[in-house]
Structures are given as structure tokens and as C-alpha cells.
Amino acid sequence: MFFHISMEKNMQLHPRHFGPHLRDKLVAKLMKDVEGTCSGRHGFVVAITGVDDIGKGLIREGTGFVTFPVRYQCVVFRPFKGEILEAVVTMVNKMGFFAEAGPVQIFVSNHLIPDDMEFQTGDVPNYTTSDRSVRIQKDSEVRLKIIGTRVDATEIFCIGTIKDDFLGVINDPGAAA
């Protein structure tokens, strides 16, 4: 799920940036530092939408770096248990398959794949139904439900299932090609 939240961070700026464009430099550095990171509490920071406030800088003794408290608005993405996501399959193996929904890695074990889908080994490992109408392979898009999340300080990993109503492949690259 996506959220638009306000966050704060202390930015350290090198003295060489001190000049007429200090503020721009600071914002550019903030974006570079923050976007794409993941915190266990808030999830992945997708984008910074605006800087609310830059506080007074504090010069650090010895180094000359200056610390600015910056308050900014950003869009974050955090997966939740029970959430339905659309994801792209990245790897298929005997134990199940891995998929990505943006920055989030999701593993779907073979127990959570419908029973009528069988693993087919070969050049392109895939899961296929007995009538060959549905196939999950690398780059397939699937709709899955998250049944568990492991949230570390800097990483989020999810376990998904496609063994439920309306879940499964939503487009098949093999069929299109």
C-alpha cells in the first residue's frame, strides 16, 4: 500500500557545497540519499514530493560538515499481509517462484500454487496447468496475495500465494510472443 507521509532527516553537507545553491544541493543530496531506501517502519521510499522545512545548520567540529534537519514529504510503499499485489515473476524453480512488485521481493512456494499447476523443468522452467492453458514463467505477470511479510531494518521480504480466487497469471509473455 502506498502512503504519503512527512519524514525528517538530518542531512550532512560537505563544505564545498556552501555557496549560492546550497539549498538546491541539499535537496538533490536528500533525493539521492533517500529515494529507493527501505525502512522497516515505513517501507520503501518511492519519491520525495516536496521539502517542507530546512532547519538551521550546525557546523561539526573537526570535519567542517554541516548538519541540516530537513523535513520532507514523500511517497512510501509498504506491503501488508493480506494485500493483493500484481508482480512480475523473476525466477522459477522447483520450490516455487520469486516475483517482484516494484522494490519488493515476493516468494510463492509450490504449496501455494494451485494444485493443478505442475513444475516443468527445462530451458525455461515454468509452472503449467495440465491443459497447458496457463503458464507461469520468468517475466509473467501474476496477481498474488501476500500472506506473510518479514520486515527487517533495511529490507522487506514477502511470501505470497496464488491459491485463491481471482489470483494467478494476468498476462502471459509466452502466449503473446
Partner 1 sequence: MSLEPFNRLVRLAARAFYDDITMKGDNQPKNGRGDNRGMAVVVLDALTRRQWVREEDLAKALKLHSKQLRRTLRFFEEEKLVTRDHRRETAKGAKIFSAAVAATADGPRGKEGEEKMKLHTHSYCCLDYAQIYDVVRYRMHRMKKKLKDELDSRNMVQEYICPNCGKRYSAFDALQLVSLTDEYFHCERCNGELVAESDKLAAEEMGDGDDNAKRRRHEKLKDMLQKMEEQLKPLAQQLLRVKDLPVPDFGTLQAWEARANAANRANGDPSANDSSKSSQGHGYGGTPMPFLGDTKVEVAFSGVEVKEDTEPETKATALKVLPPWMIREGMVLTKEQRGEVKPDVMKMDQPSSSTDDKKQKIVKDDQKSIEDEYIKAYYSALMERQRAQEEVTKKMQSEAGNLSNGVSEAAGRKVGAKAKREEDEDDAEWEEPQPTGEVYKVADLNAQAQESSEDEEDGIDWEEG
| Shortest reach from residue 169's CB to partner 1, in Å | 19
Q: Map grid coordinates 542531512 to a residue.
A: 11
Classified as helix, coil or strand, 41 is coil
| Shortest reach from residue 1's CB to partner 1, in Å | 19
Which spans of this chain sit near partner 1 (rule: CB under 8 A)?
91, 93-96, 98, 105, 107, 109-112, 121, 125, 147-148, 150, 157, 159, 161, 163-164
d(CA 74, CA 163): 34
Backbone torsions φ then ψ of 94, nearest 5 degrees? -65, -30
CB 85 within 8 A of CB 113: no
d(CA 100, CA 87): 5
Residue with smaller CB distance to partner 1, 109 or 171: 109
| Shortest reach from residue 107's CB to partner 1, in Å | 4
Element spanning 134, H or E: none
Residue with smaller CB distance to partner 1, 56 or 94: 94
Residue with smaller CB distance to partner 1, 48 or 108: 108
d(CA 34, CA 42): 12
Alpha helix (H) residue ranges in 20-166: 22-34
| Shortest reach from residue 157's CB to partner 1, in Å | 6
Residue with smaller CB distance to partner 1, 74 or 159: 159
Residue with smaller CB distance to partner 1, 46 or 147: 147
| Shortest reach from residue 92's CB to partner 1, in Å | 9
